[in-house]
Amino acid sequence: MLCYARFRDRLGSLTNGSGKLPDKIIEVRDVDFSRGNRTIFRNLNLTIERGQVTAIMGPSGTGKTTLLQLITRQLRPDRGQVLVDGVDIATLSQAQLYQLRQRFGVLFQNGALLTDMSVFENVAFPIREHTRLPDSLIRHVVLTKLHAVGLRGAADLMPSQLSGGMARRVALARAIAMDPDILLYDEPFVGLDPISMGVIVKLVGQLNDALDITSIVVSHDVHDVAAVADFSYVIADGDVAASGTPEELRNTSSELVKQFMHGLPDGPVGFHYDAPDYAEQLLGTRSDSR
C-alpha cells in the first residue's frame, strides 16, 4: 500500500489530537478556471459541510460538472485552491492523489456501467481494483451494496437487461462499494421516470445518513434536489449567484435565481447564445458572416 503519511499527518494536525475533523470537508477558495478564452469560474468560493447533502445547481453550461472535476483534481484551477479536509489537493503527489480519490464515490451522469460485465461484476470492479480481498468477502460486500439499493436479485443480469432507473441504482451501488467519505452525484435524475426518480432521491438521503457520508449533488432538477438537499448553491456567470436552504432559495430576491428556481422562460438567462445581428448575418452584409 502506498504511503500517505503527509496527508495523514496534515489531518492529524487539523484535529488537534481530538480525533474530530473540521466541519468543512471541502473548501473552494478564490478559484478561477477557463477553457480557452471562455471563463468558467471567476473568484469562486464555496464550502461543503461534513455529513450534509449539498446541491450544486444552475443553468446548463455554468460549470457544475467542471466543479466536480476540480474537486477530484481531474482539472486544476488557474488560480485559487481546492482543499479537502484542509489539504490543498494541488500539492499532492500522484500517489497521494490516487489514495485521496479512494475517499470519493462517483455516480456518473448516465451510470457508465461496463456493458460487458454483469451487475455483480460492475459493483465488484472497484473492490477488485483497489483491494486484495478474497472472492468470498467481495461477494459479501457486493450483495450488501446491491441490497442497499434494492437490486440484490439482479446481480446476474447484464446492463442491457436493466431499465434506466435500475442501471442508475446499480451505478450507485458501485459508487458506494468502497465505503467512500464523499459521494458525488453528477446529474443523477436525468432521463428517469417519476417513480425511478423518486427512488433515487430517497436513496440519496438514506445513504447519506446510513453511511455517515457527505454528498454533493449536481443537478438542475430544482424540485427533487429541494427534497433531499440540506444546503444548495446556485452557480451562474462564473460565481455563486445564491446559496442557502431550498426554502431560502425559493424566496430569493435575485431575478436570475428566481428565473431558475421557478423555470421562467424570460429573465436574465436568455434563450439565444450571443451572436451577430440576425438580419445582417442572414443578408451577408458583415465581413464575418457565414
Ordered DSSP codes for the chain: ----HHHHHHHHHHHTTSS---SEEEEEEEEEEEETTEEEEEEEEEEEETTSEEEEE-STTSSHHHHHHHHTTSS--SEEEEEETTEEGGG--HHHHHHHHTTEEEE-TT----TTS-HHHHHHHHHHHH----HHHHHHHHHHHHHHTT-GGGTT--GGGS-HHHHHHHHHHHHTTT--SEEEEESTTTT--HHHHHHHHHHHHHHHHHTT-EEEEE-S-HHHHHHH-SEEEEEETTEEEEEE-HHHHHT---HHHHHHHHT-SSSSS-SSPS-S-HHHHHHT-STT--
Burial code of 140-152, b = ≥16 C-beta within 10 A, e = fewer?
A: ebbeebbebbebb
Q: Domain of 187: which CATH number?
A: 3.40.50.300
pLDDT of amino acid 19 = 55
Residue 192 pLDDT class (50, 70, 90 cuts): confident
Residue 32 lies in a domain: no
Query: What is the rounded average pLDDT of the residues 253-274?
Result: 60
For residue 215, the cross-strand partners are 53, 183
List phi, psi (to 5°) of 9.
Answer: -65, -40
For residue range 137-175, what is the model confidence (pLDDT) as tens digits? 999 999 999 998 889 999 999 999 998 888 988 999 999
Residue 36 lies in a domain: no
Query: What is the rounded average pLDDT of the residues 198-222?
Result: 86
Residue 181 lies in a domain: yes
Residue 217 belongs to domain spanning: 48-74+90-283
Total domain count, the chain: 1
Residue 61 lies in a domain: yes
- Considering the entire predicted model, what is its pTM? 0.78
Give the type of residue at 55: A
Res. 260: pLDDT tops 80: no
Residue 22 lies in a domain: no
pLDDT of amino acid 5 = 43
Res. 9: pLDDT tops 60: no
Residue 14 pLDDT class (50, 70, 90 cuts): very low
Residue 166 lies in a domain: yes
Residue 28 lies in a domain: no
Residue 14 lies in a domain: no
